[in-house]
Amino acid sequence: MATRRGFLGMLTGFAGGTALATYTSIPDRYLPPREQLPPAIRPSAAETNPRPSSVTRPEDSAFDEETRERAREVGLATREAVVYLELRAGNRFSVGTGWILDDEHVVTNGHVVSQGGEVTCYTVDGDTLALELVEASRDPDVALLRTDDEVPATLSTGAAERLDRDQPLVQVGHPGSVGNWIISLGRFGGRTGVLGSGDTLRSSVPSAQGNSGSPLVTLDGDVVGLTYASTMGQGRFPGSTPEPSDDRVRESFASNSSALHVPVETVEELVDEWTA
């Protein structure tokens, strides 16, 4: 099992969007000793087989049963090459996601790892990979890390340029409010130029803090994007007259947001440049 070493990224706000890394400042006295970090994060039985109340009911789903089952199969296979990045610098503790591109490289976001620090990289089986930073960019938001350890699996890449509107897409990552190696399903929503990143993919795949660096994959299991942020949906156009919503008493809000992803072609171009 490899030792810990690596780099820490600071969360930076983007105009019009929110980066999807999880960052917390914790007094040193509350942090466990380094030799005990982190606790086991292997997916629990509850995460692998969630309670019916914690998942979308078939009758409420926007997808048919065949698509949902295919998404689950692809998600489970994708998990094998998705890693959990736990980063620490002083009293700052953060979490992000990465995925294994080939026998020696892990891809994540630049905002996750670009500022230095210490990283522990976990695979879904609970093993660790020692990582060193190759290069990181904030625009586009991509980073490449290298390992000399044996990797458990790799992901194949597809073509984002061939995506069709409303095509089902799957994501695997670590949304902190939900759990680890969470499989989520949504649709391709097109391309946008938000957040200063130029050509960006937009989807309805559910995402939350901790999903930074997650792979966005097709139902064939090919990576087509790198998740890096989300943007809230606009409720109405400025200048229009607001209208009251229904009169339900609400105990929680479901946010209407879009996940944003760097196209895999952009990721591959940077990888080729950084490894040349």
Please report, for the domain that includes residue 146, its CATH number: 2.40.10.120
Per-residue confidence (pLDDT) for residue 257, from 0 to 100: 74
Residue 272 structure tokens? 């080729």
Evaluate whether residue 38 is within a structural domain.
Answer: no
Evaluate whether residue 132 is within a structural domain.
Answer: yes
pLDDT of 178-216, one tens digit each?
899 999 999 999 998 765 555 899 999 999 889 999 999
Evaluate whether residue 189 is within a structural domain.
Answer: yes
Residue closest to 229 by CA, chosen among 14, 85, 8: 14
pLDDT of 16-47, one tens digit each?
345 665 444 434 444 444 444 444 444 444 44
The answer to whether 82 and 94 are in contact (CB under 8 A) is no
Of 114, 137, 141, 214, the catalytic one is 141
Per-residue confidence (pLDDT) for residue 203, from 0 to 100: 94
Evaluate whether residue 149 is within a structural domain.
Answer: yes
Domain that holds residue 119: 63-275
Domains in the chain, number: 1
Residue 176 structure tokens? 């902190």
Evaluate whether residue 209 is within a structural domain.
Answer: yes
Evaluate whether residue 30 is within a structural domain.
Answer: no
245 or 122: which leads in pLDDT: 122
- Respond yes or no: is residue 245 known to be catalytic: no
Q: Is the pLDDT of residue 153 over 80?
A: yes
Q: Is the pLDDT of residue 143 over 60?
A: yes
Neighbour-count burial of 120, counting CB atoms closer than 10 A to its CB (0-12 exposed, 13-18 middle, 19+ buried): buried
Evaluate whether residue 21 is within a structural domain.
Answer: no
Of 114, 197, 204, 212, the catalytic one is 212
The answer to whether 33 and 147 are in contact (CB under 8 A) is no
Q: Which amino acid belongs to residue 13? A: G
Evaluate whether residue 49 is within a structural domain.
Answer: no
Of 94, 105, 111, 207, the catalytic one is 111
- Respond yes or no: is residue 261 known to be catalytic: no
